Amino acid sequence: MGGMADQRAVQYDQTGGPEVLRLADVPVPTPGEGRALLEVRAVGINPYDAKVLSGRVPGTTPFPRGIGSDVAGVVTAVGPDATYADGTPVTVGDTVFGWGMNTLRERLVVRTSSVAPVPAGLPLSIAGALATPGLAAAACWDAVPVSAEDVVLVSPASGTVGFLLSQWAVRAGAQVIGTTSRANSERVRDAGITPVAYGPGLAERVTAAAGRPLTAVFDSVGRETLDAAAELGVPPQRVVTLADDDVAAEFGVRTTAAATRSTARLVEVAATIASGEVMFPVAAVFGLDRVAEAFALLETGHPGGKIVVAPAGS
């Protein structure tokens, strides 16, 4: 049994599938300058986490390695000069969201400049899952702004990033075509997006669905979407991809590589959800002891919404 000052954290000792994840007892850290200690309430898990876990993307920290980069939680202690990015002080009891390192644990020290107070009306399960997909979507939107004149392809539209982008584009008045599996096509259609299947023959299906030339593309698939965009004559500067930078360079399209993370932008993204303007579906919430199940669902590639782990207070 761990002492009073211990907590459970998710760790792994070698790359692999969800089965290599384990819970370790580790000390509760003390927050230093510009940092706060959180009781972690919600952590969304991302395709990126699964890529590092499996070794498809190289990890940057030694084993035993932690995992997770998004977070929402309650501040239980602050170090000196603990202020939000706008300079206001962080206070014990604040409920905050943002990003950190190895966030899948019960207690986490974060830089206070990488969190913001959770806006009223935003569920914690969403707040703790928003930074990575929300800021990626925002970076795509900032790279290729869309207005009512646009005909936009979002691929996939059923994923976390694509569903946000599609809904923002619908709200901007654009015509939006979005790829999805059959399982999610009703959700996509209900959000005002015209669903088409991803896979071979994409360009023909998009042409038939749009009825007029495409003017913008948001991609998180890679070659398949970029081939279709090129075939349909979309100018490369109106195409942005989150997929591999080498493929992006080959097609001469935009990436989000230069985007910097900002809590102000994250709060703007959160506001679109808290206000009810756009939906952010959560497929499942797991306790910390079921983290392997959470990753197994993520690794299906068809999670049906965001997967969230709720480490503490649950």
Footprint of ligand NAP (CB under 6 A): 46-48, 132-133, 136, 156, 158-162, 180-181, 184, 198, 220-221, 242, 256, 301-303
Distance CA 223, CA 112 (A): 38
Residue closer to ligand NAP, measured from CB, 98 or 133: 133
Distance CA 108, CA 67 (A): 12
Q: How far is the CB of 183 from ligand NAP (least distance, A)?
A: 6
Q: How far is the CB of 304 from ligand NAP (least distance, A)?
A: 6
Residue closer to ligand NAP, measured from CB, 181 or 207: 181
Closest to 68 in 3D by CA, of 122, 121, 114, 129: 129
Residue closer to ligand NAP, measured from CB, 18 or 159: 159
Cα angle for residues 257, 207, 303 (degrees, 5° grid): 55
Residue closer to ligand NAP, measured from CB, 215 or 255: 255
Distance CA 148, CA 232 (A): 20
Amino acid sitting at position 220 = S
Which tokens go with 34? 């510009």
Residue closer to ligand NAP, measured from CB, 40 or 136: 136
Q: How far is the CB of 141 from ligand NAP (least distance, A)?
A: 13
Q: What are the start-end ranges of the H helices in 55-194?
A: 124-127, 131-143, 160-171, 185-190
Which tokens go with 267? 């709060």
Residue whose beta carbon is closest to ligand NAP: 159
Q: How far is the CB of 74 from ligand NAP (least distance, A)?
A: 25
Distance CA 118, CA 61 (A): 29
Distance CA 270, CA 274 (A): 6
Q: How far is the CB of 160 from ligand NAP (least distance, A)?
A: 3
Q: How far is the CB of 206 from ligand NAP (least distance, A)?
A: 13
Give the count of alpha carbons within 13 A of 91, CB side only: 4
Q: How far is the CB of 213 from ligand NAP (least distance, A)?
A: 23
Closest to 252 in 3D by CA, of 241, 264, 265, 266: 241
Residue closer to ligand NAP, measured from CB, 203 or 221: 221
Distance CA 47, CA 59 (A): 14
Residue closer to ligand NAP, measured from CB, 82 or 298: 298
